[in-house]
Amino acid sequence: MNNSYGKLASHVYNLDKYIGKSFGDVEYYLERLNECSGPILEPAVGNGRALIPLLEAGLDVRGFDASPEMLGYCRAHCKERSLTPALSQQTFEAFAHEERFEAIVIPAGSLQLIADHATAIATVKRFLDHLRPGGRLIFDLYPHDLFADTQPSIRNWQTEAGDLLTLTSQRVKADLIAQTTVSHLRYELWCEGKLASSELEFLTMRWWGVEEMALTLRAAGFVDLVVSGNYDFGSAPKHGDEVVTFECRRPR
């Protein structure tokens, strides 16, 4: 299954992108949400890496994620800190909340996990429908990795129990028309030198053009779009920037 973040994938995510880890995004989202007093939604909330600092800053955030394992980590981290956000297992493709939000935030390029263009457009429209008038959608995209090196990479982590988790990634397909790539992610858990379990995930990502996304947001009905490079609000993204952030509003 694609982008499923199963047991070992979630374990690796939680070891590698632990609570407290920021790519500059946590500080940026905190700053952008500074004056937000209403409810906030974080789709694809994962293990809570971004959610928890937002909650600890006093923001009223809730989240959903497709992966029960990721939600398991998120719930455990919240419980340890006596935080009680509403968390649910839902997908970009079908999520529904009765509440209307003051902001919807999607850090870490998670929107790129929607590989199909029509589905992504429907999801953007669903974000608009879930915002209050004047509410903001803020999300990151990573630019133009479509042509990146296709050499396999191997990384490893020590688990809490002292075992070894390895991840071998290999890009196996780049579709220049669909603007998607597929990578094989092979996760392996080694206990006392023996392979205890393994998991193969297909990571499919869509690589958006900046103008393409701007057109998509405007066509969906968003206004007041600001596109920023490298978490410098209002600074137009330029070649070499690692991340592009979009912020726009539902009309009042």
Ligand X SMILES: C[S@@+](CC[C@H](N)C(=O)[O-])C[C@H]1O[C@@H](n2cnc3c(N)ncnc32)[C@H](O)[C@@H]1O
Contact flag: residue 70 with ligand X (CB under 6 A)? yes
Tell me if 202 sits within 8 A of 1, measured CB to CB: yes
Tell me if 36 sits within 8 A of 104, measured CB to CB: no
Nearer to ligand X, 39 or 43 (CB): 43
CB-nearest residue to ligand X: 46
Nearer to ligand X, 53 or 237 (CB): 53
Q: What is the DSSP string of 165-228?
A: EEEEEEEEEEETTTTEEEEEEEEEEEETTEEEEEEEEEEEEE---HHHHHHHHHHHT-EEEEEE
Q: Which residue has the tokens 């649910």?
A: 88
CA distances from 62 to 21, 57, 116, 142, 175 (A): 19, 14, 26, 24, 35
- Per CB under 6 A, contacts with ligand X among 90-119 are 91-93, 107-108, 110, 113
Q: CB of 64: closest distance to ligand X in angstroms?
A: 7
Contact flag: residue 183 with ligand X (CB under 6 A)? no
Binding-site string for ligand X from residue 114 to residue 153, where x marks contact by CB under 6 A and - marks none? ----------------------------------------
Nearer to ligand X, 224 or 242 (CB): 242
Q: CB of 17: closest distance to ligand X in angstroms?
A: 5
Tell me if 41 sits within 8 A of 33, measured CB to CB: no
Q: CB of 41: closest distance to ligand X in angstroms?
A: 12
- Per CB under 6 A, contacts with ligand X among 6-65 are 17, 44-46, 49-50, 65
**# residues contacting ligand X (CB under 6 A):** 19
Given the DSSP bridges, would you call strands 244-249 and 223-229 parallel, antiparallel or unpaired?
Answer: antiparallel
Instruction: Report how far residue 96's alpha carbon sits from residue 99's, in angstroms, rounded to the nearest whole number.
Output: 9
Q: CB of 21: closest distance to ligand X in angstroms?
A: 8
Which of 213, 38, 64 lies closest to 131 in space, CA to CA?
A: 38
Contact flag: residue 205 with ligand X (CB under 6 A)? no
Nearer to ligand X, 45 or 243 (CB): 45
Contact flag: residue 237 with ligand X (CB under 6 A)? no
Amino acid at the residue 224? D
**Which helix (H) or strand (E) element contains residue 122?**
helix 117-129
Nearer to ligand X, 27 or 224 (CB): 27
Instruction: Report how far residue 168's alpha carbon sits from residue 153's, in angstroms, rounded to the nearest whole number.
Output: 6
Nearer to ligand X, 65 or 241 (CB): 65
Q: Which residues bind ligand X (CB under 6 A)?
A: 3, 5, 17, 44-46, 49-50, 65-67, 70, 91-93, 107-108, 110, 113
